[in-house]
């Protein structure tokens, strides 16, 4: 699949970026958020299919408690966390992947945070 085909799959998100928006935030808004939205259904399926995640999901309780449990759970499950991040990084173009690899630690934190927030928002809406 070439770059144009990959980009055409992504949803357009109305996130304003000004000229003084930091580079990481711009990459997050223009690249990561659309990819995460595009992959939302499979991200949720992967999370819910994990046996230990189901106990968190079924006994979710108050939203803030659930969010903390979920973040701690994903942080503790290295395999799951890597799969989730791989689902996002695998949908990047080659130039985006080059940028991602240069800033992998910072971007993985951002991806993790956005994924946890998105899962939580979906479960509580």
45-95: pLDDT as tens digits: 998 888 888 788 777 788 888 888 888 988 999 999 999 999 999 999 999
Distance CA 91, CA 96 (A): 9
Alpha helices in 10-103 (DSSP H): 23-27, 33-38, 40-49, 51-58, 63-76, 78-89, 94-102
Local confidence band at 28 (pLDDT 50, 70, 90 cut-offs): very high
Mean pLDDT over the full length of the chain: 88
Distance CA 61, CA 59 (A): 6
Angstrom CA distances, 96 to 48, 59, 70, stand at 29, 38, 28
Q: How many CA atoms lie within 13 A of 88 on its CB side?
A: 28
Evaluate the CA torsion angle 110, 35, 123, 70 in order and state its sign: negative
């Amino acid at each position: 699949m070439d770059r144009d085909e990959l980009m055409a799959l992504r949803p357009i998100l109305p996130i304003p970026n000004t000229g003084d928006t930091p580079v990481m935030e711009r990459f997050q808004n223009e690249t990561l958020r659309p990819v995460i939205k595009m992959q939302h259904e499979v991200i949720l399926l992967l999370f819910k299919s994990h046996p230990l995640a189901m106990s968190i999901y079924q006994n979710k309780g108050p939203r803030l408690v659930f969010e903390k449990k979920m973040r701690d759970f994903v942080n503790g499950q290295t395999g799951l966390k890597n799969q989730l991040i791989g689902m996002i990084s695998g949908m990047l173009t080659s130039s985006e992947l080059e940028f991602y690899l240069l800033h992998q630690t910072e971007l993985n934190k951002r991806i993790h945070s956005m994924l946890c927030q998105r899962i939580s928002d979906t479960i509580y809406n």
